[in-house]
Amino acid sequence: MKNLLLQKCALVAFIGALLMIPLAMIERTIDERTMHRAQAIEAIAASTAGEQSIVGPVMTVPVEEEYDDELVEVINGESKKKLTRRKRLHTLTVMPRQVHIDGGLNVEKRAYGLHETAVFELQGKISGSFETPGLAALPALGPNAHLTWGTPTVSVGIADPRGITGEPKITLGGQALSLRPGAHVKGMKTGFHATAPSALSEKAETMAFRIDLSLAGTGTLGLVPLGEVSTAELRGNWPHPSFSGDFLPRSRDVGAAGFTARWSTTALASNAQTSTPESRAKGFQVRLIDPVDVYRQALRAVKYGILFIVLTFSAFFMFEQLRNLPIHPIQYLLVGLAQAVFFLLLTSLSEHISFSLAYLVAASGSIGLIGIYLAAILRGWRRGLGFTAALSLLYGALFGILRSEQNALLLGSLLLFVALAALMLGTRRIDWYRMGSLPGSASTVSAG
């Protein structure tokens, strides 16, 4: 064998490639556990209510038109006009002039097996006013038209009506209305509606409304602004809200005790008044997130697994060549497997204890095992402790990367750069040609 050094490099690289298999299996296990958690959240939502959104209110007003329809009949070659009295129904849809949503969220965690998610109950009030339609809101009328104005209906869309707790209350123009299930607006699939006791007149007027409701849900609450001017204020006892949708809060206060957020928008900024319910904007939305997603952090950690193995194998290889102390490929493999098992331990422990504590326990076990093993194969506790200290720094750096998600790429790049720089500077005087051609010889360092 002419060059044992290259052969050893190729063998170590092959072992590193083989270790990608257990890392991939662990990554797949994390994906499966993530799916199990999603199924658990779905089970919780199925027993209570799912993600919620409130659309509305919307007023609809039926108007019956009776008019003359002129028909031309040809009898014996002569054209004769005939008037027939016909009826047709117009349904006018009215959006609020102003709408204000005020609500408080009582949030708690609900568990299903090992997994838990945030569920909430909203105590909300929706208030504002409608400008009732007049003759100008109707399309072109037929000849000698006579109009019969119907009673207005107020509808509210609810994403999951199972979450409606108690009976909502609706007042319109100072009158309390009786509720009916189901939304009364085309395109709103679920919700409730109420019809006023008296019909409107042809004259436009302003009618104030108020809706009180309690609504339970899981994870997310959305409010779709339909008013010409829409405002909202939500308060909750959850310290980790995530604000999304098409409009971010104008102001927010988030602390350990909870949050307060305020939104404001107009019909000029929203397409809600000109689009169908299916295509309406998400509007104001708050998500009750868990900032410590153990599976996401474990998955990010596994992606650094190959970096762990490369750095550890590089240190072994350099120690082996510089100290002329051979390390068997099986020993490389066992140390690599110990590092791979660390990520599996981290995932399984974090399902039962906090992620930080799980990381400490898994890292301590992995470092301790590798340290005891290295003390034997490197023939000395001092050498084993040196590698143990280096591994401790490496695991500590990974924990810092995981905790600083926004700077993860930067910190990971710096870690790799520092490790590569240390390797290059530490071996810059080695004569690799001489080392590779002389089996078992010590390194030769060039002068200067």
Average pLDDT value for residue range 385-396: 82
Pick the CATH number of 51-70+79-288 from 1.10.10, 3.90.1150, 3.30.10, 2.60.40: 2.60.40
- Distance, CA of 49 to CA of 406 (rounded, Å): 33
pLDDT on residue 125:
92
pLDDT in tens, 147-178: 888 888 888 888 888 888 888 898 988 888 88
* pLDDT reading at 278 higher than 50: no
pLDDT digits (tens, 9 = 90+) for 317-326: 777 766 667 7
Tracing tokens 């109950």 back to the chain, one arrives at 121
Average pLDDT over every residue of 231-237: 90
pLDDT score at 1: 41
| pLDDT-derived band at 368, boundaries 50, 70, 90 | confident
User: For the chain, which residues make up each domain, given as ranges?
Assistant: 4-37+294-437, 51-70+79-288
List, for residues 15-34, the tens digit of each pLDDT value: 888 888 888 888 898 888 88
Query: What's the mean pLDDT when you consider all of the chain?
Result: 80
| Joined tokens for residue 10 | 């190729």
Residue 318, both tokens? 């350099």
Tokens of residue 194, six digits: 């109420």
pLDDT in tens, 189-226: 788 888 888 877 777 788 889 999 999 888 888 888 78
Nearest to 427 by CA among 317, 326, 328, 332: 317
Query: Vertex 311, ends 309 and 315: CA angle to 5°?
Result: 115
Quick one: which of 290, 348, 342, 269 has its CA closest to 312? Answer: 342
81 vs 226 pLDDT, higher one: 226
